[in-house]
A and B are shown apart, each in its own frame.
Chain A
Amino acid sequence: MRSFFRIIRFALQSMMRNFWLSFVTVSVFVLTLVTINSVIILNVLANASVKSVEGRVQVTVYFTSDSSEGTVKNVQGYLLGLSQVKEVSYVKAEEALATFQIIHQNDPVILAALDEVNGNPFGQALKIRAYNASDFPFILEALETPEYKPFIKEKNYDNYESALKVLSDFSEKVRLGFLILALFFGFIAVLIVFNTIRVAIYVHREEIGIMKLVGANDWFVRGPFLCESIFYALIATGIMAGIIAATLSFANPYIVAFFQGVDVDLVAYYSANAVPLFGAQFGILAFLGLGTTAFAMRRYLRV
């Protein structure tokens, strides 16, 4: 126990007395975390954007004019039973007509054509929204049952098909892109932390030898350095949390304004996930630091 407190004391003492080395190490750790958090933020924004575009896509299914309201309500219930379906709204024939008339109120040719038809050419309709745009082909496929098919006049599936494909492809690519980016920066981060610690240990190589010659066992020499790497990780994560809090509280309104209509709230995201996010960042830094310290010290402990 006495040794444990001594090790902690030596670690703190060494951090203070080698101030510039500590400063540089913590700075590199913070820069590493800045990179990682930039990727996290970009990922959150990209996901929110893709989600928002996907959310706006809706497919309208038009029913024949002889379908009863009951049949349409049945289809509505059936669709709502599908886990991919987010929302199904029912549109009466009269509403469809009224909406059409309002949209084209300044277009006398179309209104005249409507008069020619004599009566309501519109049938009932269902407007479907899905959780993921890529699920629409499946949802529309589900309507191809013999039970409902005769009543369905038109699905504007065809008009959306290519757009949906492009969109879902795009969102997949965005996710993959960010995964690769995250892995790339993660790899760089590992190298940077690894080298920083190695330099820090290299600076202390003579002292390590002296401690051994004076009769310190390996753990008594290793302990303070291991503690230091944990303290560095802790300080860096703390500084990073501060930077995130300050940056977001300043920038969040602008980001929300920029992504008008898209549901992005980074402050909410970070406050909801603060513990796992920063916990993981601290954990990874500390793990890397401990591993590298132990590895870098091996050769100098052989004295």
Chain B
Amino acid sequence: MREAGVWIPACAGMTEGAINERVARAIILCMITFKNVTKEYPPKTHALAGVSFRIEAGEFVSITGQSGSGKSTIAKLIFAEEKLTSGHIHIGDWDISNVRHSDIPILRRQIGVVFQDFKLLPKKTAFENVAFALEVAGESNKRIREVVPHVLKIVGLGEKGGRYPRQLSGGEQQRVSIARALVHRPKIIVADEPTGNLDAITAREIIELFTRINDFGTTIVLVTHDRDIVNGLHRRVITLRDGKVASDAEKGKYLLA
């Protein structure tokens, strides 16, 4: 992992006790593997139909496709917001296909998640929203006071930690959300349409933030249907169509009309 003299996302340094052995192993090899994954929504909707791919540690992968192609389902399966119908998903060595309800929080503390609608806690300040991700993991107050301002600075919100989400612009709210996803130093960040609610310029800034985070070694899974963003990245692109992988290309382009 490259050191940059500032706080960087990393695998190590999680609170002891919060992680069991399986998760510890998953951290070491944090590639994501989908094997023949199917997700059905009753009665007869196939969101994903036999999807297989493998994302290596440190990759930046865009998952694209039209609405209803199943791209968001992939994000939801990775952080266990949804349960798959059949197949297997591995995060490193950890098979999360049938993850127990009580293990889900442990899984989520290893993955940073960024949503289109930001999902910030409205009654907590920017600082508190970011701190919350550490508090749930039992991190000490001292460490929280050290780390959170630093991460807010990285996302460009150094001065705005005391503001509530409603006092921030869309772009700023998304930065808080990214800070929250970063703060516990996850090996993987999953971003589900993170620029969907933002204007083009702000969107580009947010994507730049992700590339910088990726430069530090964090795996990024970006779910998007924004052609300009995908084409501007020159990174791997997995394109979905009707719940199946239509193409998977290194330095890919946005293929859909």
Residues A213 and B79 in contact in the complex (CB < 8 Å), given A3-B138, A18-B123, A207-B122: yes
Distance, CA A82 to CA B106, complexed state (A): 73
- Does B123 lie within 8 Å of A6, measured CB to CB? no
- Does A215 lie within 8 Å of B140, measured CB to CB? no
Within 8 A of B (CB), among A206-220: 207, 209-218, 220
Residues A213 and B108 in contact in the complex (CB < 8 Å), given A17-B123, A207-B121: yes
Distance, CA A303 to CA B76, complexed state (A): 11
Distance, CA A262 to CA B12, complexed state (A): 78
| Range class of the B interface residue count | 20 to 34
- Does A210 lie within 8 Å of B119, measured CB to CB? yes
Distance, CA A17 to CA B164, complexed state (A): 11
Distance, CA A33 to CA B180, complexed state (A): 43
Within 8 A of A (CB), among B120-159: 120-124, 132-133, 135-138, 140-141
- Does A214 lie within 8 Å of B138, measured CB to CB? no
- Does B79 lie within 8 Å of A211, measured CB to CB? no
- Does B105 lie within 8 Å of A216, measured CB to CB? yes
Could you tell me the distance in whole angstroms from the C-beta of B13 to the nearest C-beta in chain A? 15
Residues A215 and B109 in contact in the complex (CB < 8 Å), given A2-B138, A2-B140, A3-B138: yes
Residues A207 and B123 in contact in the complex (CB < 8 Å), given A2-B138, A214-B132, A217-B136: yes
Q: Per-residue CB proximity of A193-226 to B under 8 Å, as 1/0? A: 0000000000000010111111111101000000
- Does A211 lie within 8 Å of B140, measured CB to CB? no
Looking at A2, A13, A214, A303, the one whose CB has the most chain B CB atoms below 10 A away is A214
- List B contacts of A3 (CB < 8 A): 138
Distance, CA A218 to CA B104, complexed state (A): 10
Q: A213 is contacted by which of B81, B102, B122 (Cβ under 8 Å)?
A: B81
Return the chain B residue nearest A301 by Cβ: B101
**A contact residues vs B (CB 8 Å cutoff):** 2-3, 6, 13-14, 17-18, 207, 209-218, 220, 303
- Supply 11 A–B pairs (Cβ within 8 Å), ascending by A: A211-B136, A212-B105, A212-B108, A213-B79, A213-B115, A214-B133, A215-B105, A215-B108, A215-B184, A216-B136, A220-B105
Starting from the known contacts A211-B121, A213-B119, A215-B108, 14 additional A-B residue pairs (CB-CB under 8 Å) come to: A2-B140, A14-B123, A207-B123, A209-B119, A210-B121, A211-B132, A212-B108, A214-B108, A214-B132, A215-B106, A215-B136, A216-B105, A217-B105, A220-B105
